[in-house]
Amino acid sequence: MKNKTTRFLLTSLIGVALLCVCVFGVFAVHMGNQSAVTINQVGTLYMSSMSQQTSVHFESIIGIQMNQLRALVGTIPSDAIHEDKTLQQQLMAQAKARDFEYLGFYGSDGSFEMLYGSQLTVTDPKPFLDSLNKNQEKVAIGTNAQGQKVVLLGMPSPHPPTPEHDCAALVAGLPVSYISDNLSLEENSERAYSFIIRRDGSFVIRSNNAYRNNYFERVRVLYEDVNGLTAEEYLEELNAAMVEGIDYSNEFTMGGERYHLYCTHLPYSEWFLLTFLPYGSMDSIVTGFSHEWSSLTILSGTIILTALLLVFYKYYGLTRKQLREVEEARQAAEAAQKEAEHANRAKSEFLSNMSHDIRTPMNAIVGMTAIATANIDDTQQVHNCLKKIALSSKHLLGLINDVLDMSKIENGKMTLNMDQVSLREVTDSIVAICQPQVKAKNQQFDVFIHDISTENVLCDSVRLNQVLLNLLSNAIKFTPEGGEIHMALFEEASPKGDGFVRIHIEVRDTGIGMSQDFQKHIFDSFAREDSARVHRTEGTGLGMAITKYIVVDAMGGTIEMDSKQGRGTRFSVTLDLEKAQVMEEDMVLPNWNMLVVDDDRQLCESTVSALGSIGISAEWTLDGESAVDMVVKRRRRGDDYQIILLDWKLPGMDGIATARSIRQELGDKVPILLISAYDWGEIEGKAKEAGITGFISKPLFKSTLFNSLRQFAQPLQEGEKPPEQKGPDLRGRRVLVAEDNELNWEIASELLSAEGLELTWAENGQTCVEMFEQSPVGYFEAILMDIRMPVMGGYEATQVIRTLERPDKDLPIIAMTADAFAEDVKRSLDCGMDAHIAKPIDVQEVLRLLDKYLK
């Protein structure tokens, strides 16, 4: 599009420019031509008039002389004779008086008889003689004895005075200068000049620079060009015009300069006047004008072109700008479209992933339900099916929770519920949750903590749990059977200040690891490495996205990852959490001597230090054999360890074997506790048999140690029951019980009376309403209402009571029924009841609810 417009613009620009050049060029050329024509016309006009003037002038000066001569001829009497000296004297005197330099008789045979002046010869006598013989006045040129040119005026005389010659005319002579001076033929060379020639081209009068005798020769030699004609052609034309006696006009170039020439016949003679006008001056004026005109034309052309160019340039710029804007808009639109497509694709992917992920457990649930239905009597089978259904349901629930979390995250609605959190409780519960999975895959699981100075921090425990669970369950999921999973937790000072503590959580496994490529996408939604190895691994693919959001975006922490395919993966989470502002329990125990046995040196040191902080002196060792040695040594010194902590998994002699050996040495008194991150259900029997007193689950927080060891400080008395769970004190409260069944009433009565409540029995809803109506206001403080009763059911009774006009009509009414369906609960509440309790009657629950609503 851009190129098209540019091309169009350029083409039209060039087109218009060319047009301009053409138009103005033609204009200029035309003007040039026109100026040449004009010069020609002007020249012709000027020359013709000038020639005519010259011609008239010539006629007049010749006419004057002719008149003089005619008068002279008039004086010759008709009877004059040649020898009449008087006449001759008279003629001479008169002629001299009239300034004729020569005077003579001209015979009809062409002979001269000079009266005075030197002998003259007519240069071209024939036409002169012819004319005179025809009695015509004529002018001709002749030469005197000295060879000088003389203008001859011939006047035919009717009375020829010559006897021996037939006298034709009286001829007077004048110097040539008379004509040339009078005609001003020798003009300034800048201007016009003239020649007088004869028909054969010979000069009669010529200007100085024409040194040849014949004009025609001069033409042949000097003329370079005669308006496109050759010299010969021009001479032919000139001759033709001379013969016909018409005027002739033309232009020629001589010596690089152009001239205009004009030829006209002169009266009284066979002569032609050639007038020349060099174009020089006129030409320069007209050419100057024409140049000026051309310059103006070119200038205006240039101005118009420039203006056009400017307009085009502006327009081009404008178009470019528009194009750019359009392009930008298009790109923006494209980007928006891409984004929309991406979002759409993401959504489609999400849906497709979701439907696949939901379908898998749903299939299991549906399938297992069908199998269970088909084998309803085979308890074992049904049990098995239910177990699988429960598992799939749990998975499904997890999936839905993840999706809800994701949508919360995407809507920015995930907020943290900050509360006091005990790191010990969090890790304990995580370990408890992971133990079954670890056991199922026969993996080595170890939890390790050290340098935990602050156990209670402010955090969202649910989300923290979620993060840990995600990391651990991934580690378990992607680690093959027999692999190792290691979780570490430690603290250091936080850069955020004294009120905070920096917590590092590290989860490490020896699993399948991740490809470099996948590591980039691990925190994306629905990211699951698509390879044969992980093909069957279940999960939503949302876990890490949620984890990252919680850690980084919500809690402001960092999450780092390090993974190698086939080697394993390590995740490190760092969080700066505020220390909980609570007084930690004053944890002090007697100054026991303890021994800690674990193959992990760090754990030993950290545990010993933790024990030290609660007042216990402890020693540690790394294996069972040395532990037994140390115990023996102490025994000899008579300074037994009072409590021994023993790791289960030890190199060489394991925990149980060690315990057995120690028991042999120490007897039964000293408590031996087994430390383990595993579920000890399996080994419990064997452990007890070996003399293990109890278990402490990893990780060993200070509080874990304190709580586990406290019992040994104040041993429980034999046979003492744990203190009865004390319910709320509701003695003396009056409660109306609507119950149609006597047995059920008695049960309720027995159980609740024992708690001090004063119960009144109503046999059905109707009775209940009546008894309530008749009671003083505020007498009954609550009603326990059965639903299924004759005469009037619990729902109706409640509705009636709620519409009574008594200030205490809103007393708490609690439904108590064998129905425990959600719709029953809902219906109870819809009818105006406050709560719902399912039978069998759980006294604690009833008391709790009564306590809640009686307040």
Partner 1 sequence: MTLKECYAALNGDYEEAMGWLRSERLVQKFVLKFLDDGSFDLLCRSMESGDQPEAFRAAHTIKGVCANMAFSALLKSSSQLTELLRGGDMGDQAQELFERVKADYARTAQAIQAFREEAGG
Give whichever of 788 and 806 is closer to partner 1, judged by the CB atom: 788
What's the closest the beta carbon of residue 811 comes to partner 1, in angstroms? 23
Give whichever of 200 and 750 is closer to partner 1, judged by the CB atom: 750
What's the closest the beta carbon of residue 741 comes to partner 1, in angstroms? 5
DSSP state of 552: I
What's the closest the beta carbon of residue 841 comes to partner 1, in angstroms? 6
Crossing angle, helix 624-637 and helix 655-666, to 10 degrees? 10
What's the closest the beta carbon of residue 382 comes to partner 1, in angstroms? 15
Give CA 472 to chain center in angstroms.
44
Give whichever of 151 and 789 is closer to partner 1, judged by the CB atom: 789
Q: Is the Cβ–Cβ distance between 348 and 341 less than 8 Å? A: no
Give whichever of 186 and 819 is closer to partner 1, judged by the CB atom: 819
Q: Which residue carries 């009669």 as its tokens? A: 204
Three-class secondary structure of residue 113 per DSSP: strand
What's the closest the beta carbon of residue 835 comes to partner 1, in angstroms? 17
Give whichever of 86 and 379 is closer to partner 1, judged by the CB atom: 379
Residue environment code for 170-201, b if the CB has 16+ CB neighbours within 10 A, otherwise e: bbbbbbbebbbeebebeeeeeebbbbbbbeeb
Give whichever of 1 and 743 is closer to partner 1, judged by the CB atom: 743
DSSP state of 32: H
What's the closest the beta carbon of residue 744 comes to partner 1, in angstroms? 6
What's the closest the beta carbon of residue 568 comes to partner 1, in angstroms? 48
Distance CA 683, CA 675 (A): 12
* Site for partner 1, rule CB under 8 A: 740-744, 746-747, 750-751, 754, 786, 788-790, 817-819, 839-843
What's the closest the beta carbon of residue 641 comes to partner 1, in angstroms? 41
What's the closest the beta carbon of residue 768 comes to partner 1, in angstroms? 16
Q: What are phi and psi of 226, to 5 degrees?
A: -120, 80
Q: Is the Cβ–Cβ distance between 615 and 591 less than 8 Å? A: yes
Q: What is the largest CA-CA distance in the chain?
A: 212
Give whichever of 767 and 817 is closer to partner 1, judged by the CB atom: 817
Give whichever of 67 and 741 is closer to partner 1, judged by the CB atom: 741
153: left (phi over 0), alpha (psi -120 to 50) or beta: beta
Q: Is the Cβ–Cβ distance between 667 and 647 less than 8 Å? A: no
What does the block give as tokens for 579? Answer: 């220390």
Distance CA 369, CA 5 (A): 72
What does the block give as tokens for 845? Answer: 């629950």
Q: What is the CA radius of gyration of the chain?
A: 72
Give whichever of 684 and 746 is closer to partner 1, judged by the CB atom: 746
Give whichever of 532 and 754 is closer to partner 1, judged by the CB atom: 754
What's the closest the beta carbon of residue 725 comes to partner 1, in angstroms? 11
Q: How many helices (H) and strands (E) does the chain have?
A: 22, 29
Q: Is the Cβ–Cβ distance between 25 and 33 less than 8 Å? A: no
Give CA 786 to chain center in angstroms.
73
What's the closest the beta carbon of residue 854 comes to partner 1, in angstroms? 22
Crossing angle, helix 2-74 and helix 85-97, to 10 degrees? 150
Give whichever of 398 and 793 is closer to partner 1, judged by the CB atom: 793
What's the closest the beta carbon of residue 773 comes to partner 1, in angstroms? 24
Distance CA 265, CA 248 (A): 10
Tell whether omega for the bond before 723 is within 30 degrees of 0, i.e. cis.
no
Q: What are phi and psi of 125, to 5 degrees?
A: -70, -25
Give whichever of 566 and 722 is closer to partner 1, judged by the CB atom: 722
What's the closest the beta carbon of residue 376 comes to partner 1, in angstroms? 13
E strands present in 565-653: 568-579, 593-597, 617-621, 643-647
Q: Is the Cβ–Cβ distance between 701 and 452 less than 8 Å? A: yes
E strands present in 750-791: 758-762, 782-785
What does the block give as tokens for 38? Answer: 């004009």
What's the closest the beta carbon of residue 739 comes to partner 1, in angstroms? 9
Q: Is the Cβ–Cβ distance between 224 and 253 less than 8 Å? A: yes
Give whichever of 56 and 818 is closer to partner 1, judged by the CB atom: 818
What's the closest the beta carbon of residue 842 comes to partner 1, in angstroms? 7
Give whichever of 613 and 749 is closer to partner 1, judged by the CB atom: 749
Three-class secondary structure of residue 568 per DSSP: strand
Other residues' Cβ atoms within 10 Å of the Cβ of residue 369: 14
Write the DSSP assignment of 332-356 as a string of letters.
HHHHHHHHHHHHHHHHHHHHHHHHH
Distance CA 358, CA 365 (A): 11
Give whichever of 92 and 747 is closer to partner 1, judged by the CB atom: 747
